[in-house]
A and B are shown apart, each in its own frame.
Chain A
Amino acid sequence: MDMRSLLRTLEHATLRDIALVCVADALVGASFGAISVSGGLPLWVPMALSLLVFAGGSQFAAVGVVLSGGSALAAVATGLVLNARLLPFGFAVSDVLQGPWWRRLLGAQLLTDESAAFALQQHDPRRRRAAFWICGVALFVIWNLAVLLGGVAGGLIGDTDVLGLDAAFPAVLLALVLPSLRDRGTRTAALTGAAAAVAVTPFVPAGLPVLFALVGLLFAGRPGATPHAGKAGKAAGTDPAGPEAAVSAVKQEAR
């Protein structure tokens, strides 16, 4: 596959949007590296997570659980529940990842909220493929570089509490999740879950409260149950809390 012919396949507007998402994600990655290392983890941990897991939300979640004193297994469980959303994205873009088995296996690692969203925006099969691969490869390179730079910078910071960096971790996650809370069912489930997690924090081992939040799923409603969800979900062809939310947030931010 030739990267240059892929680039020619896409419109300028799409390429610009992909670049904007890459810049935004570079900042998230740099914060992830800095927060992990300044919180006390050795640099190889955020780097290994970024290269091998390559899913920002779950990387933040796993590191957050561990830095708050939770066990490594609680961190893994949280990350795995969080990343389960990649499963339907994989089915949604499976037509993009055709070809020899090695290309499918390689492409699978590049599947993220962002690359899925850009692929799903395109209707022509060639453009779908181009959007997926360009966004996936660019994000993989930029994300890992940003985490490395952030991690090195984080090692230079002395007292992180004086700088308020402990607030940066929840702040990053809040900025990431906010767009998906426009759907009422999702919002109710998330707020119920968060209340449950905070309520059990004094009584259960660190790392587990977040998993308790999943009781909130009882309030998740049905797909398209609210008028808003029905419209947004059907127009975009995916769930309102799906990958479009992240990308549209970035695009709105750029305007």
Chain B
Amino acid sequence: MMPLYAVLLLAAGTYAYRAAGPLLGHRLALSDRLRHLLAVAAAVLLVALVATGALTQGHGFAGWARPAGVLVAGVLAWRRAPFPAVVVAGAAATAVLRLCGVG
């Protein structure tokens, strides 16, 4: 469950990131190193979410159907398929595998 205080915490922190530049921009500059690290950190977290979301359920393995569907979506995204096709194909592949009895 996501309580309201958690939503507000995330919103306040995110707003602070956004407002810092416009409010302090003329007094302070970020180093290239820090900019690079922040951009890489975002990619690291997103890929970790993809991996754990695709492979795990609770503390265990999610079964083969879900990662297979995500793999299909990944290949389509890599081939620059339109976004809706990527998502629908991923879900459909997982659904079809489950229909065939794959966990």
Contacts and interface: CB of A to CB of B under 8 A. Distances in A.
Interface residues of B, number: 79
B1 A72 contact: yes
B39 interface: yes
A108 to B, nearest CB: 4
Given A88-B34, A201-B56, A241-B39, A97 B22 contact: yes
A202 to B, nearest CB: 5
B83 A28 contact: yes
Contact of B25 (A94, A165, A223): A94
A139 to B, nearest CB: 14
B37 A217 contact: yes
Contacts of B43: 177, 180-181, 186, 189-190, 241
A52 B83 contact: no
Interface string B29-60: 11011111111111111111111111111111
A58 B6 CA distance: 13
Given A72-B6, A175-B77, A170 B53 contact: yes
Interface residues of A, number: 106
Interface string B70-87: 100110011011111011
A13 interface: no
Given A45-B7, A90-B18, A164 B83 contact: no
A75 to B, nearest CB: 6
Contact of A164 (B42, B84, B90): B90
Given A83-B14, A186-B40, 15 more contacts: A76-B6, A79-B13, A82-B46, A84-B17, A87-B30, A94-B25, A163-B91, A164-B69, A164-B93, A167-B54, A168-B91, A186-B39, A197-B52, A214-B45, A250-B83
Interface of B: 1-11, 13-15, 17-23, 25-26, 28-30, 32-60, 62, 65-66, 69-70, 73-74, 77-78, 80-84, 86-87, 90-96, 98
19 contacts: A27-B83, A49-B10, A58-B14, A81-B41, A82-B42, A86-B14, A86-B17, A87-B21, A91-B28, A94-B25, A108-B18, A167-B54, A198-B51, A201-B59, A210-B48, A214-B44, A222-B33, A249-B80, A252-B80
